[in-house]
Amino acid sequence: MRIGLVIWVIIAAIVSGTAPIEPELSELMMAYQAGRLEAFDALYAKLAPKLRGYLSSHTYNASLTEDLLQETFLQIHRSRHTYAPPRPVRPWVFAIARHVYLMHRRASARRYSVETAAPGELPEVPVPPAMEQLGSHRDVWRALAELSDDRREAVLLHHVWGFTFGEIGAMLGIRAGTAKLRAHRAISALRTLLASPDARGGARDPR
Amino acid sequence: MTQDSSFEKIRREVAQDLKPVRPLCSGWTSALIVFPVALFLLSLVLIVYGLRSDAAEIGSAPLWVPASLMVASAYAVLVLALIQRAPEATVSWTWWVALPLAAIVFQVGGAYWTLTHGSVPPSVSWQVEAMCFWRVSALGLPPVILVLVLLSRGLPLRPKVAGLLGGLGGGFISEGVYRLHCGISHPGHIVPWHTSAVLVMGLLGLLAGIWWEHRRLQSWAER
């Protein structure tokens, strides 16, 4: 069963052009769909840290991130039948998390920024590894906050969470080339922001 | 709220409703519903209205090929709509604009091809022409409703786009079938009375998507 699934995932990945990953997540997801609670526990353990980082990159607010994470898992539970094995689990999960965030933003009609979060509440927002050498974690984090949502999302999805541009395109409803362009422009903007000492204080995303 | 208490709360809710679920079929598979629906509508049209009066003069290919092409277009458009039931499969705007436009080009081009193989129909009053609009719309309603039901079982993150495509797909099925009865193949008749009916079906799907999104947002805001 397990070997068959792995082979099937690899074939599906080759056909769809995505990396052959996640057979374990797929298997857990199928067990979850079959009604096994321990599969949910394992999925939560594997996915929650990544989703927390992803939601933090949008909200820049630790308590809100926790609320949205909880809502994301509830939405995952209600929509678990929409996962079609053996497709990759992570794009499916991240798409739901994105949906939860966007619904929250629309419903509350509020915009969160790095300034709205109190210093004690700052969540751990991941930064692209390639950027860490350009400044301190906090500088990169602040520079990321200066990027437009579209660019920040594309660069984090690709450089931090390792999604292919095809997967990012499918999640965001854009072409793979557009996703690549956004990520590329985000990296250029980050370099510009981090190269200038003045810009570290809060310059806008240079377009 | 601590991370542990978050997890415990979610776990309790999940445990309360953990019945096994069956994964949704892929969009490619679900859209195959087009063919039995088209066969049903075809039987209906042939029984109630019959084939167009000059069918023998036109010949098989100019009569059946454009109709089949419409049904195939409906399948393609419905695949685009139904793959969006999975939240991670959002379709880029170039696809959801280009494919329906291509289907409309096939519709008008196919009608013109049929026209070149038949006699010029006598001029008829606009009321007779308008009958085509109502019939294509009426025949399109069941497939549109069916597709919207299929869509509602998933989690399309762009319900407006999915609804629009679902509506257009349903409209193309009915147009493909009704084409076999309508005796006027001139683009001057097809565009205002047939294409417009298909677009109205798309509009219906779009409105359903808007309503769905609004309801989703409302329930979110009430939490």
Tell me the pLDDT tens digit for each residue of B30-69.
999 999 999 999 999 999 999 998 888 888 999 999 999 9
Contacts of A107 in chain B (CB under 8 A): 217, 220-221
The one-letter amino acid code at B78 reads: L
Is B128 within 8 Å of B193 (Cβ atoms)?
Answer: no
- Of residues B193, B49, B190, B58, the one with CA closest to residue B119: B58
Contacts of A167 in chain B (CB under 8 A): 88
Question: Lowest-confidence range among B83-97, B112-126, B138-152?
Answer: B112-126
Contact status of A173 with chain B (Cβ, < 8 Å): yes
DSSP H helices in chain B: 3-16, 27-30, 34-48, 55-58, 60-82, 93-117, 126-152, 159-178, 187-189, 196-221
Give the predicted TM-score (pTM) of the model: 0.82
Instruction: Write down the pLDDT at residue A6.
Output: 44
- If phi > 0 it is left, if psi is from -120 to 50 it is alpha, else beta; for residue B50 that is left
**Helices H, strands E: what count in chain A?**
9, 0
Of the candidates B10, B88, B158, the beta carbon closest to that of A73 is on B10
B100: Cα separation from own chain's centroid? 10
Over residues B89-122, the pLDDT tens digits come to 888 888 899 999 999 999 999 999 998 887 666 6
Q: Hey, are the CB atoms on A69 and B157 less than 8 Å from each other? A: no
Contacts of A175 in chain B (CB under 8 A): 92, 94
Angle ∠(A29,A17,A49) on CA atoms, nearest 5:
40
Instruction: Write down the pLDDT at residue B5.
Output: 76
Confidence of residue A142 (pLDDT cuts 50, 70, 90): confident
Is A31 within 8 Å of A37 (Cβ atoms)?
Answer: no
Exposure letters A162-177 (e unless 16+ CB within 10 A, then b): ebbbbbbbbbbbbbbe
Q: Indicate whether A118 pLDDT > 80.
A: no
